[in-house]
């Protein structure tokens, strides 16, 4: 069956859902919602009742020829380190001599009186504290970004926390702001280019596997080609290629998300929501809330984020084509 090339209206009802999908009724949706709430409660209980461990410390009191690392722990140098010292999720306390660079992510760099650091100092998520009598190389640099210290410290000490976000009032408030932001962006983009959004919704409904395949190929080709250009091209060309690739990712992500939110909201309206069945705003709000909820689930959100990226690229790469594909 060939779909007519006539431009689809965003308010046109979705095609009929197959009988197999119609069996997925309100009972299963309610069970899914309960499962999500139980999962949220379990994660919150796990993260809120786990006691904080004791501060670990790597002590260097002799002469070390290699770089000293502290992963999830602080580093205290009372002797001499020939190369550098680095801590991921802790502080670097220099009371002796470090001839190379000193770096801390999620912690502070503290240089005591009489200590000497010969290289640069790099601090992400912390600050650099130094006594007035410390010794530094005049040509050395200090790079410091003092924001999100606690978050970076926890991330360095427990990388699996990235897959399992902590449910807290702050996190829930941030999720609500994300819903509001994407809802406003979706409304604005739908008002500016309704025809393009309509074609994207129809294309996603009728041939989503093909859109996903095109998006996957586009993502692989983009990252491979950009990486190759950044490796072999001169610096001005690399900067231009990187800027264009970033711009393409932003445009594709915004356009694809809006189309995905609109299509999902229309499906939810037809299946479960009886209020505002012909309202574009309600459809966009439902779709936005649904996908933001999925990207908030522990251990699930990375897969959902990759899926959104792939579908977004597929929709962006096929945006100029009208609906003329066969239904799959």
- Structure token digits, residue 189: 């983009």
pLDDT, position 160 = 67
Domain ranges of the chain: 19-46+166-317, 57-160
* Residue 47 vs residue 67, higher pLDDT: 67
What average pLDDT does the segment 28-48 reach?
46
Q: List, for residues 132-147, the tens digit of each pLDDT value.
A: 777 787 888 888 887 7
pLDDT tops 90 at residue 196: no
Q: What DSSP string runs through 276-308? A: TTT-HHHHHHHHHHHHHHHTTSTTTHHHHHHHH
CA-to-CA separations, 9 to 14, 37, 58, 186, in angstroms, rounded:
11, 36, 64, 16
Mean pLDDT score across all residues of the chain: 77
Q: What DSSP string runs through 226-263? A: HHHHHHHS-HHHHHHHHHHHHHHHHHHHHHHHHHHHHH
User: Residue 257 in contact with residue 308, Cβ under 8 Å?
Assistant: yes
With 0-12 / 13-18 / 19 or more C-beta atoms within 10 angstroms meaning exposed / middle / buried, residue 161 is middle
What sign has the CA pseudo-torsion 119, 123, 126, 127? positive
User: Residue 85 in contact with residue 75, Cβ under 8 Å?
Assistant: yes
- Structure token digits, residue 296: 């908030």
pLDDT tops 70 at residue 108: yes
User: Residue 78 in contact with residue 95, Cβ under 8 Å?
Assistant: yes
Q: How far apart are the first and last CA of the chain?
A: 9
């Amino acid at each position: 069956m060939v779909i007519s090339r006539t431009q689809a209206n965003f308010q046109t009802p979705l095609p009929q859902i197959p009988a197999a999908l119609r069996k997925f009724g309100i009972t299963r949706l309610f069970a899914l919602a309960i499962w999500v709430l139980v999962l949220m409660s379990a994660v919150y209980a796990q993260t809120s009742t786990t006691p904080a461990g004791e501060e670990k410390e790597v002590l260097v009191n002799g002469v070390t020829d290699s770089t000293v690392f502290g992963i999830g722990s602080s580093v205290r140098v009372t002797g001499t380190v020939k190369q550098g010292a680095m801590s991921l999720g802790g502080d670097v306390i220099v009371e002796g001599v470090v001839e190379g660079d000193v770096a801390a992510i999620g912690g502070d760099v503290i240089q005591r009186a009489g200590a000497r650091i010969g290289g640069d100092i790099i601090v992400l998520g912390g600050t650099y504290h130094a006594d007035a009598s410390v010794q530094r190389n005049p040509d050395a640099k200090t790079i410091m970004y003092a924001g999100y210290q606690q978050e970076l410290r926890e991330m360095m000490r427990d990388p699996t926390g990235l897959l399992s976000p902590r449910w807290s009032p702050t996190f829930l408030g941030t999720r609500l702001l994300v819903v509001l932001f994407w809802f406003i962006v979706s409304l604005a983009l739908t008002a500016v280019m309704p025809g393009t959004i309509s074609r994207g919704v129809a294309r996603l409904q009728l041939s989503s596997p093909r859109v996903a395949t095109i998006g996957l190929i586009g993502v692989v080709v983009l990252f491979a080609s950009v990486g190759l250009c950044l490796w072999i091209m001169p610096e001005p060309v690399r900067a231009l290629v990187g800027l264009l690739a970033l711009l393409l990712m932003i445009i594709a992500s915004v356009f694809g998300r809006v189309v995905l939110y609109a299509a999902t909201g229309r499906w939810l309206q037809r299946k479960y929501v009886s209020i505002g069945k012909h309202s574009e705003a309600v459809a966009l709000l439902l779709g936005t809330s649904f996908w933001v909820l999925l990207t908030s689930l522990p251990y699930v959100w990375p897969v959902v984020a990759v899926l959104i990226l792939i579908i977004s690229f597929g929709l962006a790469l096929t945006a100029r084509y009208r609906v003329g594909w066969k239904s799959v």
